[in-house]
């Protein structure tokens, strides 16, 4: 078994202060014994305007946010998953929302670019979001081998697409990390039920670090970062504000659940 942790933040428009806060929380989670630590979506910047992320975008492989992730992972000897980082896109007016994975030596081992972009009007509110105005979408899921198990990434809005998780499951995923910035309205309605559903459907662990609190741009995020086991049981949850949740990931238990309840082998329709 390995202990994992999901960091919850209420990030601001100031990259420097957000990195300081993230560093503090990572240190606390590492001290508590976590070997796999995950950050929420937009951990380094929740801008006042949608295009603010373009102003701080980094070239792939260099920049203060990426340096922070690498050095922090090495410092604490942990695997660190950097929720989403604004990296350069081919369009100078957009970014790629990239989740970067670093091993315990501070080496970057994988990158996933957010596939599904949050272009919605939230029902019964005046909230509207158009991520495609500032983000270029990725095209492929990511599943990699880690010391903790086969690990995949889904960023926030990706959570609403069960076929996306099925693609990862077909690649043997055992743990899915879901860095998010769920709004208060959509989170209250759907966050826990979607996380538990994805865990149950795929008989996998879900580690879900979320933004949780009030932001300078007037947005309120739902929080309730959590870890869910393959049976859909919430192992830990942190409701609001900055902090973290932690729990053991037990791949032997996952294998036993899959063996005794072989729903994945009973499927009759498959993703193309």
3-state helix, strand, coil in the chain (%, to 5): 30, 30, 40
- pLDDT at residue 119 is higher than 60: yes
**The pLDDT value given to residue 148:** 98
**The pLDDT value given to residue 271:** 60
**The pLDDT value given to residue 178:** 98
What confidence category does residue 270 fall into, taking pLDDT thresholds of 50, 70 and 90? confident
pTM of the model: 0.97
Q: Name the strand (E) or helix (H) holding 237.
A: strand 234-238
Mind listing the pLDDT tens digit for each residue in 227-260?
A: 999 999 999 999 999 999 999 999 999 999 999 9
Q: Domain 2-266, CATH 3.60.110.10 — does that match? A: yes
What confidence category does residue 122 fall into, taking pLDDT thresholds of 50, 70 and 90? confident
First and final C-alpha spacing in the chain: 34
**The pLDDT value given to residue 260:** 97
Selecting among 4, 21, 35, 41, the annotated active-site residue is 41
| Mean pLDDT calculated for residue range 11-36 | 98
Please state, rounded to an integer, the average pLDDT across all residues of the chain: 96
**Contact indicator for 254, 225 with CB cutoff of 8 Å:** no
167 catalytic, yes or no?
Answer: no
41 catalytic, yes or no?
Answer: yes
Reference 9, options 33, 73, 135, 17; nearest CA is: 17
Mind listing the pLDDT tens digit for each residue in 160-219?
A: 999 999 999 999 999 999 999 999 999 999 999 999 999 999 999 999 999 999 999 889
Q: Which long-range contacts (CB under 8 A, 24 or more apart) does 119-127 make?
A: 122/183, 122/185, 122/186, 124/185, 125/185, 127/183, 127/185
The domain ranges of the chain are 2-266
| Mean pLDDT calculated for residue range 53-63 | 97
The Cα 109–Cα 121 span in angstroms is 36
Selecting among 21, 35, 99, 156, the annotated active-site residue is 156
Selecting among 114, 131, 174, 204, the annotated active-site residue is 114
Range from 25-39, 41-55, 59-73, 118-132 carrying the lowest mean pLDDT: 118-132
**The pLDDT value given to residue 123:** 86
107 catalytic, yes or no?
Answer: no
What confidence category does residue 272 fall into, taking pLDDT thresholds of 50, 70 and 90? low
């Amino acid at each position: 078994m390995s202990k994992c942790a999901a960091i919850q933040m209420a990030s601001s428009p100031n990259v420097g202060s957000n990195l300081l806060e993230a560093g503090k929380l990572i240190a606390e989670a590492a001290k508590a014994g976590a070997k796999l630590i995950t950050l929420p979506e937009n951990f380094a910047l929740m801008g006042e305007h949608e295009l603010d992320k373009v102003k701080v975008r980094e070239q792939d492989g260099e920049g203060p946010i990426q340096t922070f992730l690498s050095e922090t992972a090495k410092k604490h000897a942990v695997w660190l998953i950097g929720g989403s980082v604004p990296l350069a896109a081919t369009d100078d007016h957009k970014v790629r929302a990239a989740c970067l994975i670093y091993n315990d030596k501070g080496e970057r081992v994988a990158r996933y670019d957010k596939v599904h972009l949050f272009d919605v009007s939230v029902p019964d509110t005046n909230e509207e979001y158009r991520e495609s105005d500032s983000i270029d979408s990725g095209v492929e899921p990511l599943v990699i081998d880690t010391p903790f198990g086969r690990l995949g990434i889904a960023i926030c809005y990706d959570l609403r697409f069960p076929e996306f998780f099925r693609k990862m499951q077909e690649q043997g995923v055992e743990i899915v990390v879901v860095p998010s910035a769920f709004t208060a309205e959509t989170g209250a309605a759907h966050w826990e039920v979607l996380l538990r559903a994805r865990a149950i459907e795929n008989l996998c662990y879900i580690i879900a670090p979320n933004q949780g609190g009030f932001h300078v741009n007037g947005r309120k995020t739902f929080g309730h970062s959590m870890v869910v086991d393959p049976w859909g049981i919430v192992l830990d949850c942190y409701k609001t504000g900055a902090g973290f949740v932690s729990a053991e990931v037990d791949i032997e238990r996952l294998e036993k659940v899959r063996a005794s309840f072989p729903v994945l082998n009973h499927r009759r329709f498959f993703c193309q």
